[in-house]
Structure 1
Amino acid sequence: MTSPISAVTSAIAPPAVAEPIAIGDTSAATSASGLSFGSIIGSALENTEKVQDRASQLAIKAATGNEIDVHNYLAAATEANLTTQLTVQVRNKAIEAFNEIMRLQG
């Protein structure tokens, strides 16, 4: 199982070769792997939702008395917690970057 942190960090890592970006170049929004930043963030959010759904399903099974493996439940709950924390931190950094750009323009 791939951890959510390594999945997101590997997905948003910058390209290995830095090339100058021309102003108005729309290809700059696409990474070396051919994925746009928006699609990377979208897939990371989808992954976060799937991880949280899995943890919720296991919690419901435990609450209703169905037999579950406690180890799997704890792993899923921890993964959901870490994935949510990572998502919130990425959002916070994006907001900080946006605010900084707006300050530079003003």
Structure 2
Amino acid sequence: MIQNIPVSAISPASMGASAAASKPATPAEATESFASFLKNALDGVAAQETNVHNLNDQFMIGKADVNDVMIAASKAELSLELTSQIRNKAVEAYQEIMRITM
């Protein structure tokens, strides 16, 4: 899921003190950190999709507002679209690296 994280929460200023004091991460630690971030993001996208299905069910029985359903559906659609674009860019980068190494 793409979370609503304020930009100030991920700015270099917020990372400065703790990142500068610690030693640099090893490649294995960086890979694990990126993998966990990616897994959390994908889990969030799946959670948004589940939320849309639940809201659709509630709407059909008259317990949810159409506005809530449409907003949730739009958020889930945008998250999925962003995820697929990120995947496409990652595949392109991998293919470019493979072309360079051959």
RMSD (CA atoms): 3.3
**Which whole-Å deviations, capped at 9, do the CAs of 1:31-62 have from their partners, x for residues lacking one?**
8xxx7111111000000000010011111222
Q: Structure 2 length normalisation: TM-score?
A: 0.71
The question of 1:67 aligning with 2:66 is answered no
Contact 1:48 1:80 in 2 (8 A): yes
Unaligned runs of 5+ in 1: 18-24
Contact 2:59 2:65 in 1 (8 A): no
SS at match of 1:30: helix
Higher mean alpha-carbon deviation, 91-100 vs 66-75, is at 66-75
Contact 1:58 1:73 in 2 (8 A): yes
The question of 1:27 aligning with 2:26 is answered yes
Measure how far apart 1:30 and its partner are. Answer: 1.9
| Candidates 21, 24, 36, aligned match of 2:33 | 36
1:4 counterpart residue number: 2
Higher mean alpha-carbon deviation, 66-75 vs 90-99, is at 66-75
**CA shift in 2, pair 1:61/1:6, >3 Å:** closer
Pairs aligned (count): 92
Q: What is the alpha-carbon distance in structure 2 between the residues aligned to residue 6 and residue 100 of structure 1?
A: 32
2:19 counterpart residue number: none
Q: Within 5 Å, which residues of 2 pair with 1:72-83?
A: 72-83=68-79
Unaligned runs of 5+ in 2: 17-23
Q: Structure 1 length normalisation: TM-score?
A: 0.69
Q: What is the alpha-carbon distance in structure 2 between the residues aligned to residue 10 and residue 98 of structure 1?
A: 31
Q: Give me the identity figure in percent.
A: 31
**Which whole-Å deviations, capped at 9, do the CAs of 1:51-97 have from their partners, x for residues lacking one?**
0100111112223x232122211110000000000010010011001
